[in-house]
């Protein structure tokens, strides 16, 4: 598994993909947060916190992570090397987890420079250093769990087709439905109980719950279960491919 993990990381940084993903993430967030006028602009927001960044980041990763994962297995299918995975001295779970952790690591690397945003915002307040640290830490944890779900969904999507564009679109649509689809569906419900129930099915509800700085075990179980479920689907799809 460690060998697969290292190979994934090396493949990202021996090609423009890793640098492009990290650069796009930082540039897009930087432009919306500090340059473009609008609802995400920190100066227009008027409060010294990173709330706007954590509203924006899930949408940026919604596009970037499927773009990273789209080649994970679809390229293996296209090149005819997928069968080699079945004869390696590794289980399919080890192979999938290696690719999963490698892709997730790239997302984490992209996220690390944004810690500078937290320092900058803390210095912009009326009182320097007056920032809700618990809220920031909770939001970063929520983002990591969200990225893990996106990555698992993207890996599963890459097993469905040898065409990388199809894998990207499939991953993007699945991530969108799981993140915002249930939230949108809840708006057409009649009773408040039904609205709350439907909202809890989506990632957005649980991400926002963690981002408030409260680590509820129900939210953690939701993200871990959803990630494990799509990794399981990925392994099962690969098994069926080998039959």
- Residue 188, pLDDT score: 82
State the average pLDDT over residues 34-59.
78
Which of 30, 79, 29, 80 lies closest to 57, judged by CA? 29
pLDDT tens figures, 124-179: 665 655 677 777 888 898 999 999 999 999 999 999 988 899 999 999 999 999 99
Which of 141, 144, 146 lies closest to 210, judged by CA? 141
State the average pLDDT over residues 70-91.
74
Main-chain phi, psi angles of 40, to 5 degrees? -95, -10
Whether the pLDDT of residue 225 is over 90: the answer is yes
The packing angle between helices 164-176 and 133-158, to 10°, is: 140
Work out the percent of the chain whose per-residue pLDDT is above 90: 32
Six-digit token string for 238: 């690969």
Whether the pLDDT of residue 113 is over 70: the answer is yes
The pTM assigned to this predicted structure is: 0.89
Residue 216 backbone class (left: φ over 0; alpha: ψ -120 to 50; beta: rest): beta
Spatial distance between the Cα atoms of 16 and 218, rounded to a whole number of angstroms: 39
Spatial distance between the Cα atoms of 130 and 201, rounded to a whole number of angstroms: 35
């Amino acid at each position: 598994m460690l060998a697969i993990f290292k190979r994934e990381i090396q493949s990202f940084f021996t090609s423009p993909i890793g640098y492009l993903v990290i650069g796009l993430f930082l540039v897009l967030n930087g432009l919306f947060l500090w340059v473009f006028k609008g609802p995400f602009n920190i100066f227009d927001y008027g409060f010294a916190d990173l709330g706007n960044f954590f509203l924006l980041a899930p949408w940026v990763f919604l596009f970037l992570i499927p773009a990273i994962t789209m080649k994970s297995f679809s390229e293996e299918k296209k090149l005819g090397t997928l069968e080699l995975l079945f004869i390696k001295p590794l289980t399919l779970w080890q192979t999938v987890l290696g690719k999963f952790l490698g892709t997730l690591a790239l997302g984490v690397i992209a996220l690390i420079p944004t810690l500078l945003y937290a320092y900058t915002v803390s210095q912009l307040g009326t009182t320097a250093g007056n920032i809700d640290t618990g809220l920031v830490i909770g939001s970063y944890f929520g983002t990591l769990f969200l990225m893990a779900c996106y990555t698992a969904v993207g890996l599963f999507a890459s097993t469905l087709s040898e065409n990388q564009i199809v894998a990207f679109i499939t991953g993007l649509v699945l991530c969108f439905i799981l993140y915002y689809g249930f939230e949108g569906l809840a708006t057409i419900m009649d009773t408040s109980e039904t609205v709350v129930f439907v909202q809890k099915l989506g990632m957005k509800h649980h991400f926002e719950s963690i981002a408030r700085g409260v680590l509820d075990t129900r939210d953690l179980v939701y993200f871990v279960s959803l990630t494990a479920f799509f990794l399981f689907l990925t392994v099962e799809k690969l098994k069926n491919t080998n039959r």
